[in-house]
Amino acid sequence: MLLLFGDDVKLVLLLLLMMMMRRRRKKKKKKKKKKMMMMMMVVVVVTTTTMMMILIKIMRFELN
């Protein structure tokens, strides 16, 4: 279970890195849509925070 969970965490981190890279590339090309980028950043922050909370809860549950 722990090994599989570790692999899942790695996959999630890789996906997040890919998404961030794609958004950075889009930022350099497009400068007009600032509101859209702000909304996307907010969504990214919320998703990352929720994922971290879930991971912390799972880790605590497994440790206990």
pLDDT for the residue numbered 1: 42
Range of the domain at 20: 2-63
**Residue 12 pLDDT more than 80?**
no
Task: Tell me how far apart the alpha carbons of residues 32 and 40 are, in angstroms, rounded to a whole number.
Answer: 14
Confidence of residue 32 (pLDDT cuts 50, 70, 90): low
CA-based radius of gyration for the chain = 15
E strands along 4-63, which residues? none
Task: Tell me how far apart the alpha carbons of residues 10 and 52 are, in angstroms, rounded to a whole number.
Answer: 13
Confidence of residue 63 (pLDDT cuts 50, 70, 90): confident
Confidence of residue 38 (pLDDT cuts 50, 70, 90): confident
Query: Total domain count for the chain?
Result: 1
Report pTM. 0.39
